[in-house]
Amino acid sequence: MAKICCVTPTTVIRWIEDGLIPAFKTVGGHRRVRREDLEKVCRDRGIPFNVPTGTEVGRILVVDDEPVVLELVSDVVKELNHKFEVEVAKDAFDAGRLVATFRPQLIFLDLMMPGVDGFEVCTRLKKDAATTNTEVIAITGYYTEANMERIINAGAVACLKKPLDVLEVRGRVIEAFKLKDEEVQQAAKQKGATKVLVVTQNADFRTKVRDELTQAKPAVEVLTAQTGADATLVAKTAPPHHVIVSLTVPDLESSKVISKLASSEHKPQIIAVHDEPTDEIRSAARDAGARMCLPTAMVSGTIRELLGV
């Protein structure tokens, strides 16, 4: 289905889970979709129903005018146990032409390069029925929280900072194409299930995050705490890989929970959330050790993408 619709397997799974495509499961737990149902979905969404022959390679488009970025992505995919074709667009004309002819499944999109407005490009891709399910990963040398929020709202699944980190790019490609990677699997076995600690007194937000993370595969273990002091104790007992902490917990300052977790031996990735974060609030959260500070409403529904689980 991913090959036929020119999207990643992750997107197909999301369609099925959201009820956009009728599906059933075999006794062995495998998802199956009837051909006529898939044809109807493709027809309704304007997706050409072209059944590929043979083994199709993954298609990645890099929209960037820096040769080093193309070289990095090319080198990363060469080491993966899957065949890829990688094309590069150095301006808006090339980007539009390759989206139409190359039909990429994954796009690495520079937000700011001559003649290209990455935000506008992403918005148009997501509004076009033929490309709405093409996954977009933004990249930028001018990273700010505001730009990250803006591009995520435009439909990108992530925003990576330049210079790009090889392991981060590798992980994003593996996740997008649902590849089996022996190194990643071995590391997962060694560290056990991914643990996410949610620190908040907002029961509704806590439930939404938990419900979303329960859909992650491999499974994610969700830990909770309602105060900074409790969070510190939980983290000592079961060190988390990720922490989502509300900046409105009552003892945030006195417990210094963000700085304590950030400086701990396991150094989890910390995302701070606030209903209406100001520049001052964001700066304080980052200074304490949070990777980013996001509006609470934005985190709900995108937590798996933000954490990469």
What is the predicted pLDDT for the residue at 52? 52
Q: How far apart are CA 241 and CA 291, in angstroms?
A: 13
What is the predicted pLDDT for the residue at 83? 87
For the cut 70, the answer to whether the pLDDT of residue 54 exceeds it is: no
Q: Are 288 and 247 in contact (CB under 8 A)?
A: no
- What average pLDDT score do residues 47-51 get? 69
- Tens digit of pLDDT for each residue in 242-301? 999 999 998 888 889 999 999 988 889 899 999 998 989 988 998 999 988 888 888 877
What is the predicted pLDDT for the residue at 155? 92
Containing domain of residue 299, as a range?
192-307
Q: How far apart are CA 240 and CA 222, in angstroms?
A: 9
What is the predicted pLDDT for the residue at 187? 44
Domain CATH code at residue 163:
3.40.50.2300
For the cut 90, the answer to whether the pLDDT of residue 122 exceeds it is: yes
Which of 116, 150, 177 corresponds to the end of one domain?
A: 177
- What average pLDDT score do residues 177-197 get? 63
- Residue 103 per-residue DSSP state: -
User: Residue 84 pairs with which residues in a beta bridge?
Assistant: 58
Q: Is 287 exposed, middle or buried (0-12, 13-18, 19+ CB in 10 A)?
A: exposed
What is the predicted pLDDT for the residue at 41? 83
What is the predicted pLDDT for the residue at 233? 87
What is the predicted pLDDT for the residue at 203? 86
Name the percent of the chain lying above pLDDT 90. Answer: 30
Predicted TM-score of the model (pTM) = 0.50
CA 187 and chain centroid, separation: 20
The CA distances from residue 133 to 25, 42, 85, 100, 109, in Å, are: 23, 12, 19, 14, 15
Q: How far apart are CA 152 and CA 138, in angstroms?
A: 9
Quote the mean pLDDT of the chain. 85
Nearest to 122, CA basis, from 113, 132, 15, 114: 132
Is residue 158, in this structure, part of any structural domain at all? yes
For the cut 90, the answer to whether the pLDDT of residue 136 exceeds it is: yes
Query: How does residue 180 score in pLDDT terms, banded at 50, 70 and 90?
Result: low
What is the predicted pLDDT for the residue at 14? 85
Is residue 186, in this structure, part of any structural domain at all? no
Is residue 182, in this structure, part of any structural domain at all? no
Q: How many residues does the chain have?
A: 309
Is residue 288, in this structure, part of any structural domain at all? yes
| Same domain (yes/no): 211, 298 | yes
- Tens digit of pLDDT for each residue in 62-114? 999 888 898 889 888 887 878 899 999 998 889 999 998 888 999 999 998 88
Q: How far apart are CA 155 and CA 145, in angstroms?
A: 16
What is the predicted pLDDT for the residue at 53? 43
- Tens digit of pLDDT for each residue in 142-153? 888 888 889 999
Provide the token pair at 227. Answer: 């105060």
Q: Where are the alpha helices (DSSP H) in the chain?
A: 2-5, 9-17, 35-45, 67-78, 92-101, 118-127, 145-154, 166-177, 182-191, 203-213, 228-237, 252-255, 257-262, 279-288, 296-299, 303-307
Q: Are 133 and 5 in contact (CB under 8 A)?
A: yes
For the chain, how long is the longest CA-to-CA vector? 62
End-to-end CA distance of the chain: 22
Is residue 91, in this structure, part of any structural domain at all? yes
Q: Are 289 and 282 in contact (CB under 8 A)?
A: no
Domain count across the chain? 3
| Same domain (yes/no): 26, 66 | no
- What average pLDDT score do residues 205-216 get? 86
Cα-Cα-Cα-Cα torsion 100, 103, 108, 111, nearest 10 degrees, comes to: 20
Name the percent of the chain lying above pLDDT 70. Answer: 93
| Same domain (yes/no): 67, 23 | no
| Same domain (yes/no): 168, 73 | yes
3-state helix, strand, coil in the chain (%, to 5): 45, 20, 35
Q: How far apart are CA 61 and CA 87, in angstroms?
A: 5
Is residue 53, in this structure, part of any structural domain at all? no
Query: How does residue 308 score in pLDDT terms, banded at 50, 70 and 90?
Result: confident
